[in-house]
Amino acid sequence: MKLLENLRILFNNPLFALFPELTVYDTILEKRIDIFKIFEADLLKDMKNNNLGRKDTPSVEQIIRAIIYKEVRGLTYEELEKHQFDSEICKHFLKLGKKAYSDSMFQHYVKKIQPDSVKKMFVEINKIAIEMGYEDVKDIRTDSTVVETDIHHPTNNSLVYDCIKTSTDLLTKLAEQNSDRYNNLIFRLIEVKKNYYKLNNIKIDEAKDKEEKKKKRAELMKNLFAENLNFLNSIHTEIKDIIKNELDEYSANEQVRIKDLDRQIDKIYKNAYRFQIEGKKVENSDKIFSIYEEHTDIIVKGLREWLFGHKVNISSGRSNLILDCEVLSGNPADTNLFEKPLTNIHENYGKQIESISDDGGYASLKNQNIAKELKIKNIVFTKIVGSLQNIVESEIKEKMLNNFRAGAEAVISNLKRGFDLRRVNWKGFEMFKNKVFWGVVGYNIRVLTGHILNTLFSKPAKS
């Protein structure tokens, strides 16, 4: 294949041999410039001139190359800016010439990219791997994981404090320094902060037994929390008054934030009062887990600890390439996540799946019937219950598929460790999905590079 021959020549150059993943990506992108067209609608929105962008901004190709370079090398935006000056491979990969761009410039454009565009890109990369014979899409395994959002562990105490602190920051912008209003806001915040730490570090020394200690602790907690709730209620009154009388004095972004805070405070106050003061249960669906990353879901998998972020459903093949990835809202059961990756894979790659192997969380008679309708021959779940039985050609095939399924956890582990996806610090749900999908793009090129290097440089077996 011509691509392999081009890479063999390039790897003779020490610069390219040191960075094989970037070399593979560079070669693919040179051959497939149509990939950049996927992102044109996102990046050129509201721009008046041609698809190369303005003279003082990077082109569509440079933006995509920059984010790939950043993710493959595991850099921050600040480090990406520095690499443009002191890294030869960076200059070559980004096609910089004498021009370099700031970290904020790249951040501005990356924020414009839609998650669906990134998904289309990793599908195109997978198609190249299929054409090269590294993946046949015959055997598929699916597993889910949780990727956390960048929030502190949510408690009623922390949420109330976050509301008051954020509201105070906004309100003090219009209050004159050292005025009565300004001083009242700061004083209130200091008192709330004291209570916040007291609630987190309650110590009861004067008690005869554990039950008395527990009772005193609950009483003190209730009193402290009631005080903070009163502070929250008073600042909510001020927020409502601003929306009614002073909203025009804030910037457009601040106006949006103030309206969001009004809604968030209302819900957090009611939930906190219901649980902490009245002692009543609040359903997870009614809760806010962060006022900064409100899209955050609570995920509970089996008897394990609660995690705060999003469930991600990942399907991979024999090559270990990730063929499909979905970032989900809420906490849907794995049984409801069985069908979509199979239909996505069939539609994206035009291949007939022959075998699937999933863990017991996906097992159900309904899902088995769905797989039959999709003309899948071997249907294996690692744990089966009731009358459900695996459908396989032979016992040997069932054992092979069970072993194959175990590799799904290795794929997820490599993705999360290699591309920093245990916790995502990109802001907002769309950017959260983007970070996950860019991680998949980087992971897939790393896997593809491994296959290519093995083809080019593996020693032939001795006869």
| SS3 at position 378 | strand
Please state, in angstroms and as integers, the Cα–Cα distance from residue 14 to each residue in 9, 10, 19, 32, following that order.
Answer: 11, 9, 9, 24
Coil vs helix vs strand at 310? strand
Q: Mind listing the pLDDT tens digit for each residue in 391-415?
A: 999 999 999 999 999 999 999 999 9
Quickly state the pLDDT bin for 203 (edges 50, 70, 90): low
| Range of 53-62, 281-290, 341-350 with top mean pLDDT | 341-350
Domain boundaries, the chain: 2-113, 131-151+296-427, 156-286
Give the H or E element holding residue 423: strand 423-424
DSSP 147-158: EEES-PPP-HHH
Count Cα atoms within 13 angstroms, Cβ side, for 67.
Answer: 28
What is the rounded distance in angstroms from the CA atom of residue 343 to the CA atom of residue 445? 23
219 contact partners, CB below 8 Å, separation of at least 6: none
Tell me the sheet residues that pair with 139: 355
pTM equals 0.90
Q: Facing residues of 64 across strands? A: none
Kindly indicate whether the domain formed by 131-151+296-427 is annotated with CATH number 3.30.420. yes
pLDDT tens profile 270-312? 999 998 888 899 998 899 999 999 999 999 876 567 899 999 9
How far apart, in whole angstroms, are the C-alpha atoms of residue 256 and residue 415?
36
